[in-house]
Structure 1
Amino acid sequence: MEYELIDNTQAKQYEYHIEGVLAKIEYIKTKDKIYLTHTEVPKQLEGKGIASSLVHSVLEDIEKKDLTLIPMCPFVAAYIKRHPDWKKLVLKGINIS
């Protein structure tokens, strides 16, 4: 299923609004870098692949905006490890393990 990605710059988070609840990835953005710090999916949405879909959409947006990624969130790092094509966005010298 396709969800609409919202970059809520005021709250400094990417969002999906699903079934009246909020799934999000919090971030810190500098001029050309973005630090993904925390992924959160409400309990009632767990197990539906929403977190993975959210990470994928966020990575596409980061690529489109030509930002360098610093994945501080363990879930985001694990996603990139499972999908190594996205390592191209990660700041050189950061080890995803």
Structure 2
Amino acid sequence: MSRVQHNFAASRFDIYSDGIVAASVHYRMNGAEMSFIYTEINDSLQTPPLVQSLIRGCLDNAHRHRLAVLPFCPTMCAYIKHHTQYTALVPLAQRERFYLPTTPRPPRQAHLTVVRPQ
């Protein structure tokens, strides 16, 4: 069982797997901006799904507290690029520096193939 815990004293979010810290995301606060600095991963554990859960937990926490996000951490930035629903957390004026879209993407169009009986 894994769980995300916000460690205020250390300015980081941790995810635990069987009581062991599997990964941590370190951040700094500046007013209402949360700058994610780097991600630390315990190499002895199989962590990709845990890291994704951790990053999602960090971003959901920032959203709940109405904080802007600055994803200096490459892992965090890559996650936001692939999960565009979190792009809105990055201030519009800051998105270009993180190579994030500055305009909303149009919704994906379904590609349908029409099959006609012969």
TM-score, normalization by structure 1: 0.88
* Distance in 2, Cα, partners of 1:84 & 1:45: 28
> 1:58-94 deviations in whole A, cap 9, x for unaligned?
1111000000000000000000000111001012222
Q: Which runs of 4+ in 1 moved over 4 A?
A: none
Gaps of 5+ in 1: none
What's the counterpart of residue 18 of structure 1? Answer: 17
What's the counterpart of residue 55 of structure 2? Answer: 55
Question: 2:28 matched to 1:28?
Answer: yes
Identify if the C-alpha distance between structure 1 residues 47 and 15 changes in structure 2 by more than 3 Å, giving closer, same or farther: closer
* Matched AA of 1:7: H
Residue 52 of structure 1 and its aligned partner are, at CA, apart by 0.9
Gaps of 5+ in 2: 100-118
Relative contact order, higher structure (CA 8 A, sep 6+): 1
Task: State the percentage of identical aligned residues.
Answer: 24
Tell me whether 44-53 or 68-77 shows the greater mean CA deviation.
44-53
Please tell me whether the aligned partners of residues 13 and 25 of structure 1 are also in contact (alpha carbons under 8 angstroms): yes
* Matched AA of 2:68: T
